[in-house]
Amino acid sequence: MKFGVLGTARIARQSFVPAVEATDHEVDAVASRTEERAERFAADNGIPRAFGSYEELLESDAVDAVYNPLPNALHAEWTKRAADRGLHVLCEKPLAVDAAEAREMGDHCDDRGVTLMEAMMYRYHPRTERMAAAATELGDVRSVDAGFHSSLRYWPEGTRFDPDMGGGCLLDVGVYAIQAAQLFLGEPERVVARIADPEETGVETQVSGILSFPGGKTAQVDCSFRLEDAQYCRVEGTEGRIHADPAFSTGSDPTTFELRAPGRRVTESFDPTNPYAIEVKRFAEYVERGDRPRTDAREAARTLVVVDALRESGEVGEWVAVEDYSS
């Protein structure tokens, strides 16, 4: 598969391009808002074609699919425009700025007959898959505690702090914790949140939320831009627990998780792997088979309805019901 990259974002340079190089696929083109920037990115990364606008790349017939790492608020526009050209789209997380937009993107790509996948790389990591399977050893899973804190106190600018570009810690890192809660507990019925922006950046920079599930099950999810870097996921059942730290963005380091179950306590280890390369391979396989990705627009909307509800709860200061993500 030949990929085109929309933009020259750091994640494209540091993670996506090296990931594709580790597979049988290739990055054949890159586009930026200026030709100079695109050519520099192409030269630095061994990419044969550079375009001075996103439109030129989409209209060039040079690629089979595009990787969309643009600011969150631009995901929908350029994903739909790529779909209009018959191109499959691997879109960086979060897929959209809210659940309604995610559903709209999914419907648009379905109508054009192209595959749309959210680049939630940790969902394809072997450790995540094994943790989901190991949860069956915990009896009745009753509680999840998950958080992702990214210390950006020294980076007070950029799209993460721009409300018009879909900034804020909920969309940037909170979606990881929310997806972890849903992976083990299903769909929450209601949520309550405390949201803070103490430095008045214009977006939320610290969020603590409680998700309430049927049968009295609960999850606590936390995220921030202002606390020290941390990633964790703890799953508690009536007969054991699972704990992973760090839990989400693992790079290519070895990873582990601790499992306590009846009669045993073990640490399961996983060899170094590139989760972005796995993500690329899975995307290409979904396209080839015509299957819906594990992290498709419906799955993104499932997470984003919780984001929407947490934000509403933070505004009104009380519990908020979570809407049906498929509506």
pLDDT grade for 327, boundaries at 50, 70 and 90: confident
Following DSSP, what letter does each residue of 143-211 receive, concatenated? EEEEEEE---TT---SGGG-GGGT-SHIIIIIHHHHHHHHHHH---SEEEEEEE-TT--SS--EEEEEE
Q: How far apart are CA 168 and CA 148, in angstroms?
A: 13
Phi, psi of 250 (to 5 degrees): -100, -10
pLDDT grade for 154, boundaries at 50, 70 and 90: low
Q: What is the CA radius of gyration of the chain?
A: 20
State pLDDT tens for residues 248-279.
987 778 899 999 999 899 999 999 999 999 99
Following DSSP, what letter does each residue of 82-124 receive, concatenated? HHHTT-EEEEESSSSSSHHHHHHHHHHHHHHT--EEEE-GGGG
State pLDDT tens for residues 169-186.
999 999 999 999 999 999
Domain assignments of the chain as residue spans, ordered by start:
2-122+278-293, 125-271+304-321
Q: What is the mean pLDDT of residues 145-154?
A: 85
CA distances from 235 to 45, 153, 209, 240, 247 (A): 40, 30, 16, 9, 12
Give the H or E element holding residue 44.
Answer: helix 35-45
Supply the pLDDT for residue 194.
98
What CATH architecture applies to the domain 2-122+278-293? 3-Layer(aba) Sandwich (3.40)
Write the CATH number of the domain with boundaries 125-271+304-321. 3.30.360.10
Judge whether residue 139 has pLDDT over 90. yes
Are 2-122+278-293 and 125-271+304-321 the same fold in CATH? no
209 and 313 Cβ atoms separated by less than 8 Å: yes
- Both tokens of 114, joined, read 């192209």
Residue 93 among the catalytic residues: yes
Query: Among the options 2, 80, 93, 281, which is catalytic?
Result: 93
Contacts of 275 (CB under 8 A, 6+ apart): 121, 122, 124, 125, 250
Judge whether residue 305 has pLDDT over 90. yes
CA distances from 117 to 55, 266, 318 (A): 21, 34, 34
Judge whether residue 198 has pLDDT over 70. yes
CA atoms within 13 A on the CB side of 151: 5
pTM summary value: 0.96
CA atoms within 13 A on the CB side of 162: 9
Cα–Cα nearest to 68, from 93, 48, 51, 35? 93
Instruction: Give the range among 34-38, 157-161, 220-224, 230-234 with minimum mean pLDDT.
Output: 157-161
Supply the pLDDT for residue 158.
84
